[in-house]
Chain A
């Protein structure tokens, strides 16, 4: 019943990104961790148009490469649910191992990589057959998952081991381990594939790792006047394709930091909602959405003017966010 992502779909996506689809056509999906639901936001009116009940404790979400399906980590149900973004119905589940938290999909749309915190494994799921085809032992409490633009490397972060593990997707073997600061949460490649940015929630930093040499090039630190350093807990990371700007969600600091993607200097801090965790850029990169867990809302940030333009109430404890063009 589930269509595997077709080459045609991938072509459409490519075409879409070349012509920069008008912002009005966008749909934003937000997982509500405590509400066990997905809020659907119309990217034009910035209003919630639907709330869909899903499995228990939905956290990480990602769209298929043709944008037809939204994959949802239903953490307390120990599987991944597949939401049809047209019918807004759950149309299937995928194996994930216990307590899936974050997932990424390979650029060709064929594989899904998911971190299993309980078993210290990264599971690889074939999206066509829906089978788990490999399990890769990593450090304690794997969480963040990043995939290189060429699809050849997956980076996983382990929260208690404090490493970024580089995984070769051909052999499913670890090819490098890089120590970062305490409790690494997210691994995000730059569009040129040169760097991986890894946020450390307890360490309070973002490590910029050279993807070729596997060495930490730079450690970005944050400082907000009037805030205790402990309150600065970097989680979500998004980087513009041309690297002119990058965005880091700072958790209970209630701010998103704007960082120069080339010099690593922090440019500014934007006040958003409470305990900001995950971020997503619109396909045209003009807007950034942040999920604010404690204040039960998402903030829309104008990327060009570096300002928060709207906050939209969603369900209870919003966690993940994905945007369909």
Chain B
């Protein structure tokens, strides 16, 4: 009662005191599709239930707390497409209901369907999940903002660190699925960009097996040295296994006594539970309290999208899509994302600039950009495709 009365008093007063308050309703749609949860190879890794949406829920709470001082009312609409459903129908329905602000946790195909839909013209869509580089270099959509880091931002973050360590001779071992091929390509590009050398390459075709196999480790102990014996003289093995089929088996099972990085071992990620730097203790705690699990990358991506909307609405004082878009793309926009620097968007691709964490799942090892990797605009632009390297020039 005591608290409630104070809360009411503060809001009434806030309505008269600050500069730009007028009542605004800000509905934000979280778009996702029902999927089977992914089973990690390690039993220590949690099976993540409802990835993404919990980040959106936390961000809306954060926006609401800020909004109450300004008369801004945030609402989260969770629009989840059934496993066999049509994403465009769901999207259309939301646009017809007057919603313009979307945070997408959709896979690539669905995201593209939405972006290319005629109704998307007057919307803003924040992609918190898909990291494909071509969506930042070739097929850019003016209404899409990417809060998920691109694949090349990850590999650049990792290779910068390896070059800083002077572990610059790489043995690249790739899986054969699409994501693995794309990751290996990104590693090749990063190696060239920062002066690391891929001294040997090999591919490894491995079919998913049940993670519970009695005596399974005996076979793994024999298979992994065989798969890695062609590496020659190298400093570190880089594994490209985005589906998580075999990478987990590599550390300590390689033919040569070398560390492992890439999609397994030392991993470049936008977020992980091990990160407690830059004041993120409360953030991690707030999340775990409401979600009952750790914050994952897709949660963080959705959180950034909704917080970016909140920050833009707070400063612009309106929900006009054009005004928000131009503020988000501008130099004044900066978002605190618990990574030590303000996060902003690259105007040519609308990719969020952000430090990338390097973790070994037990501890935060480092965060890139690394010292000494400079850039004419900001060191953050040393990660991922730079303006002259892209064919996108969003206006």
Q: Are A202 and B13 in contact (CB under 8 A)?
A: no
Least CB distance, A176 to chain B, in whole angstroms? 4
Evaluate whether A214 and B17 lie within 8 angstroms (CB atoms) in the complex, with A140-B65, A162-B66 already known: yes
Across the two chains, which residue of chain A brings its CB closest to B333?
A182
B interface, over-half SS:
helix
How many contacts between A and B, using CB within 8 angstroms? 101
Which residues of chain B come closer than 8 Å to A178, judged between CB atoms?
A: 18
A215–B18 Cα distance when bound, in Å, is: 8
Q: Are B66 and A163 in contact (CB under 8 A)?
A: yes
Within 8 A of A (CB), among B7-34: 7, 9-10, 13-14, 17-19
Q: Are B336 and A159 in contact (CB under 8 A)?
A: yes
Least CB distance, B64 to chain A, in whole angstroms? 9
A139–B335 Cα distance when bound, in Å, is: 16
Which residues of chain B come closer than 8 Å to A173, judged between CB atoms?
A: 6, 9-10, 13
Which residues of chain B come closer than 8 Å to A141, judged between CB atoms?
A: 279, 282-283
- Chain B contributes a number of interface residues (CB within 8 A of A) equal to 34
Which residues of chain A come closer than 8 Å to B315, judged between CB atoms?
A: 179
Least CB distance, A20 to chain B, in whole angstroms? 38
Across the two chains, which residue of chain B brings its CB closest to A178?
B18
Least CB distance, B55 to chain A, in whole angstroms? 14
Asked if B200 is at the interface (CB within 8 A of a chain A CB), the reply is no
A95–B314 Cα distance when bound, in Å, is: 34
Q: Are A177 and B334 in contact (CB under 8 A)?
A: no
Asked if A120 is at the interface (CB within 8 A of a chain B CB), the reply is yes
Asked if B258 is at the interface (CB within 8 A of a chain A CB), the reply is no
Which residues of chain A come closer than 8 Å to B282, judged between CB atoms?
A: 99, 117-118, 141
Which residues of chain B come closer than 8 Å to A222, judged between CB atoms?
A: none
Asked if A203 is at the interface (CB within 8 A of a chain B CB), the reply is yes
Q: Are B378 and A160 in contact (CB under 8 A)?
A: no
A142–B10 Cα distance when bound, in Å, is: 15
Across the two chains, which residue of chain B brings its CB closest to A214?
B17
Across the two chains, which residue of chain A brings its CB closest to B18?
A177
Asked if B62 is at the interface (CB within 8 A of a chain A CB), the reply is yes
Q: Are B285 and A182 in contact (CB under 8 A)?
A: no
Across the two chains, which residue of chain A brings its CB closest to B69?
A177
Q: Counting chain B CB atoms within 10 Å of each CB, which of A135, A162, A173, A174 scores highest?
A: A174
Asked if B3 is at the interface (CB within 8 A of a chain A CB), the reply is yes
Across the two chains, which residue of chain A brings its CB closest to B314?
A179
Which residues of chain B come closer than 8 Å to A204, judged between CB atoms?
A: 342
Asked if A4 is at the interface (CB within 8 A of a chain B CB), the reply is no
Within 8 A of A (CB), among B345-395: 378-380
Least CB distance, A228 to chain B, in whole angstroms? 6
Contact with B along A155-195 (1 / 0, CB 8 A): 00011111101100001111111110111000000000000
Least CB distance, A93 to chain B, in whole angstroms? 21
Which residues of chain A come closer than 8 Å to B3, judged between CB atoms?
A: 135, 137
Which residues of chain B come closer than 8 Å to A179, judged between CB atoms?
A: 18-19, 314-315
Which residues of chain B come closer than 8 Å to A175, judged between CB atoms?
A: 13, 17
Asked if B281 is at the interface (CB within 8 A of a chain A CB), the reply is yes
Q: Are B65 and A182 in contact (CB under 8 A)?
A: no
Which residues of chain B come closer than 8 Å to A214, judged between CB atoms?
A: 17-18
A71–B180 Cα distance when bound, in Å, is: 55
Evaluate whether A228 and B314 lie within 8 angstroms (CB atoms) in the complex, with A117-B282, A118-B285 already known: no
A137–B9 Cα distance when bound, in Å, is: 10
Please pick, from B9, B285, B286, B342, the residue contacting A230 in the complex, using a CB distance under 8 A: B342
Asked if A136 is at the interface (CB within 8 A of a chain B CB), the reply is yes
Asked if B341 is at the interface (CB within 8 A of a chain A CB), the reply is yes
Which residues of chain B come closer than 8 Å to A165, judged between CB atoms?
A: 69
Q: Are A160 and B18 in contact (CB under 8 A)?
A: no
Within 8 A of A (CB), among B325-351: 334-336, 340-342
Which residues of chain A come closer than 8 Å to B17, judged between CB atoms?
A: 166, 175-177, 214
Q: Are A174 and B14 in contact (CB under 8 A)?
A: yes
Contact with B along A110-137 (1 / 0, CB 8 A): 0000000110100000000000001111
Evaluate whether A182 and B334 lie within 8 angstroms (CB atoms) in the complex, with A202-B342, A228-B378 already known: yes
Within 8 A of B (CB), among A248-301: 252
Q: Are B62 and A177 in contact (CB under 8 A)?
A: no
Q: Counting chain B CB atoms within 10 Å of each CB, which of A159, A160, A163 scores highest?
A: A160
Q: Are A139 and B69 in contact (CB under 8 A)?
A: yes
Which residues of chain A come closer than 8 Å to B279, judged between CB atoms?
A: 141, 159, 183
Least CB distance, B353 to chain A, in whole angstroms? 10
Which residues of chain B come closer than 8 Å to A172, judged between CB atoms?
A: 6
Contact with A along B274-293 (1 / 0, CB 8 A): 00000101110110000000
Q: Are A118 and B13 in contact (CB under 8 A)?
A: no
A175–B342 Cα distance when bound, in Å, is: 29
Within 8 A of B (CB), among A191-217: 202-204, 214-215
Q: Are A140 and B10 in contact (CB under 8 A)?
A: no
Which residues of chain A come closer than 8 Å to B6, judged between CB atoms?
A: 134-137, 172-173
A215–B281 Cα distance when bound, in Å, is: 32
A166–B380 Cα distance when bound, in Å, is: 36
Which residues of chain A come closer than 8 Å to B18, judged between CB atoms?
A: 176-179, 214
Q: Are A182 and B7 in contact (CB under 8 A)?
A: no
Which residues of chain A come closer than 8 Å to B62, judged between CB atoms?
A: 140, 160-161
Q: Are B66 and A99 in contact (CB under 8 A)?
A: no
Least CB distance, B370 to chain A, in whole angstroms? 13
A257–B334 Cα distance when bound, in Å, is: 23
Q: Are B69 and A137 in contact (CB under 8 A)?
A: no
A215–B66 Cα distance when bound, in Å, is: 18
Which residues of chain B come closer than 8 Å to A163, judged between CB atoms?
A: 66, 69
Q: Are A118 and B335 in contact (CB under 8 A)?
A: no
Report which A residues bind B (CB closer than 8 A). Answer: 99, 117-118, 120, 134-137, 139-141, 158-163, 165-166, 171-179, 181-183, 202-204, 214-215, 228-230, 233, 252
Given A162-B336, A228-B378, A230-B379, output 11 extra A-B contacts at Cβ < 8 Å: A117-B282, A118-B282, A137-B6, A161-B62, A172-B6, A176-B17, A177-B69, A178-B18, A179-B19, A202-B341, A202-B342
14 contacts between A and B (CB under 8 A): A99-B282, A135-B3, A160-B336, A162-B336, A163-B66, A165-B69, A166-B17, A179-B19, A181-B334, A182-B336, A183-B336, A202-B334, A203-B334, A230-B342
Nearest 5 CB-CB pairings of A with B: A174-B10, A176-B17, A161-B66, A177-B69, A117-B282
Report which B residues bind A (CB closer than 8 A). Answer: 2-3, 6-7, 9-10, 13-14, 17-19, 62, 65-66, 69-70, 279, 281-283, 285-286, 311, 314-315, 334-336, 340-342, 378-380
